[in-house]
Amino acid sequence: PLQYARQTQNPKIQRAYQKFRYPSFGFTYLGYNLQDERFKDVRVRRAISHALDTQAILEGVLYGLGSRATGPYPKESWAYDPSVAPTAFDPAAAKALLAEAGWSDHDGDGWLDRAGQPFRFTLLTNQGNEVRRQVAELVQQQLKAVGIDVRIKVIEWSTFVHEFIDKRRFEAVLLGWNLSRDPDLYDLFHSSKTKEGEYNFVGYANPEVDSLLVQGRRRFDQQERRRIYQEIHRRLAEDQPYTFLFVSDALPILSSRFQNVVATPVGISYNFIDWYVPRPEQRYRRLAP
């Protein structure tokens, strides 16, 4: 986002390159280890969602180059349910939900506590992703405002996956999913997919969502599948196994020599075979044997 918004505006780059912008087919999220006693309580997960100013994160980190996520489906998906509204930024509601769950500042030190234990957790994310690092810092600041102490740990990708994600050695993670065009989310949210190395590493389990996920795989009619997946969208928004943060825009940049490149809601690569460089602008030619 920084490169797109601030570092590619000079005339030289604008002459030499063409920039594109369209929604990516995926989302960034704050995921919880649902085996952790604190995060088993849906009130706590909803409170954290209320405590985060996602719009400020979008503006501050992505320079507005994205949109808020209400669930796992971007607006461009036929499975998206437009009736699901983004969680409102409401620190007062967050504090009320946390108080219902037993978390209050009993000793007046500015941090929430319960049974003498402060509400403190470590948020993991992967090394090499500057956007996620910045988002983690804003999450840390915003949760501090409601009395939750967040420690950030950035870990090299291979170690992060194999030693922390696969083995569920985490309290909360900041990650993203890139989705296929088909809305099947069985691997992400079905309760059978929680074994080591599988994708439901947060441990989400809802029998009704399990049933819907199976039904969605067994139907061929798109209207019927839309009804099923929109219901899944609503259930996930209620249960908040993730705090769904945002859908970032894809921001490719390509040499202006390439012709017939057209951005669509599915990106620019759909007609890659039709791209060409006019002969006078070609720089690299295959030598005859």
Quick one: angle between helices 130-144 and 42-51, nearest 10?
A: 100
pLDDT, tens digit, 9 for 90 and up, residues 162-194:
999 999 999 999 999 999 889 999 999 999 999
What is the model's pTM?
0.92
Rounded distance, CA 201 to CA 124, Å? 14
pLDDT, tens digit, 9 for 90 and up, residues 79-119:
999 999 999 999 999 999 999 999 999 999 999 999 999 99
| CA-CA-CA-CA torsion sign (79, 80, 83, 88) | positive
